[in-house]
Amino acid sequence: MKLPELKIGSLTARIPLIQGGMSIRVSTSALAVPVAECGGIGTIGGSGLPVAELQEDIRKAKRETKGIIAVNIMYAMREFYELVMGSIEAGVDMIITGAGFSRDIFKIGAKYNVPIVSIVSSPAFAKLAEKLGAAAIIVEAAEAGGHLGTQTKLRDLFPSIRKVVTKVPLIAAGGITNGYEMAELMDKYGADGIQIASRFVLSKECSVSQKFKETYLKAGQDDIVLVSSPVGMPGRAINTPVVRKMNSGEDVSTKECKYKCLKKCSYRYCISDRLIRACAGDVEEGLVFSGANTFKMKEILPVREIFNRFVKEAESVYRENK
């Protein structure tokens, strides 16, 4: 059976799939545009970017596709509101936000008619987001890459949030690697769609370095670990040399704050510097965020092929379960 469309606010995605926003410069317009062209929601990772650079990339994406372009901005960023307003000014279709919770963002979205999508990891915040005006809610569980708000796995967390969110679309995220899992979460668990990020790192269009992608390809299950983030949340990453140093207690702190990117920072290490290094190919000293199931992914494919496989697999099972 054909997958249903995903309606968020006044926007409709032909395929109920959101490409997760990955920073810094992991998911840019180069990735978001082909995702949008396939009928999904393409997301630019906006955290940690200068406002002008983010605006330029949003405008580039909007010139190149008529599909839906979102931006993901962490509430933990010092320039959160500047990035939000800059994105709106540049014409972004949707704002996705997590890593903290903003009440004011919903008022801004309503004022400018831009749907706000909240990333949550608990029923309490999901219920609050819906009450305050979220156009959709993404349930991000323990299997996700990057910053984690819970240690509960997706199939354990999602049902508790499904019970309290009744008025807006609810999206499942964390560790989803194929269309069969997509159909399972939509059929059995009642998800209105899914968000995937790590799978799109291993796309030809993702603009990270080849060394970054090779780190994904070489990773085994035991190579994907948790690391403490200066944001104040645990993060999931590949066990690169610098991560091993961090987890062994070695001092990798920075001598000065170059980026001043976070509202609150432990200064244990400079997360912006480590993410930028990895993106550029320095995987020895860089932080390579990764979902828990990255080890299952063993090939780099065009975005169109990734999409086609997800849809074909999902629709085959979705039809059976209906």
Assess if residue 1 is contained within a domain: no
Residue 72 lies in a domain: yes
Q: Do 172 and 255 belong to one domain?
A: no
Same domain for 82 and 165? yes
On whether both 196 and 216 belong to a single domain, the answer is: no
Please check whether residues 253 and 282 belong to one and the same domain. yes
Instruction: Say yes or no to pLDDT of 158 above 70.
Output: yes
User: Is the CB of residue 290 less than 8 Å from the CB of residue 156?
Assistant: no
Question: Model confidence over 53-109: pLDDT tens digits?
Answer: 999 999 999 999 999 999 999 998 989 999 999 999 999 999 999 988 899 999 999
Domain match, 221 and 317 both: no
Please name every residue paired with 120 in a beta bridge, in sequence order, or none if there are none: 139
- Judgement on whether residues 28 and 111 belong to the same structural domain of the protein: yes
Strands (E), the chain: 6-8, 11-13, 17-19, 41-45, 68-74, 94-98, 116-120, 136-140, 146-147, 170-173, 193-196, 224-228, 234-238
Q: Give the integer Cα–Cα distance in Å for 224 and 236.
A: 7
The rounded percent of the chain whose pLDDT value lies above 90 is: 89
Is position 124 within any domain?
A: yes
Least confident range from 49-53, 303-307, 318-322: namely 318-322
Residue 322 predicted with pLDDT over 50: no
Question: What was the pLDDT predicted at 320?
Answer: 52
How many domains does one find in the chain?
2
C-alpha to C-alpha distances, 277 to 22, 32, 282, 306, 322, nearest whole angstrom: 14, 22, 5, 27, 47
Q: What is the CATH number of the domain that holds 60?
A: 3.20.20.70
> Which position has the token pair 């939509």?
186
Which residue type is seen at 45? G
Same domain, 291 and 309: no
Answer yes or no: do 37 and 186 share one domain.
Answer: yes
Domain match, 132 and 266 both = no
Q: Is residue 274 part of a domain?
A: yes
Is residue 266 assigned to a domain? Answer: yes
Provide DSSP, 189-254: S--SEEEE-HHHHTBTT--S-HHHHHHHHH--GGGEEEEE-TTSSEEEEE--HHHHHHHTT-----
Let me know whether 121 and 28 are in one domain: yes
- At position 3, the amino acid (one-letter code) is L
pLDDT for 113-128, tens place per residue? 999 999 999 999 999 9
The two tokens of residue 321 are 């379960």
Tokens of residue 219, six digits: 């990773």
* pLDDT at residue 321 is higher than 80: no
CB 297 within 8 A of CB 199: yes
State whether 106 and 178 are in the same domain: yes
- Mean local confidence (pLDDT), 203-220: 98
Note down the domain range covering 169: 6-206+296-321
pLDDT over 90 (residue 302): yes
Answer yes or no: is 37 within a domain.
yes
Domain co-membership, 240 together with 290: yes
Q: Which residue has the higher pLDDT, 154 or 254?
A: 154
What is the reported pTM? 0.96
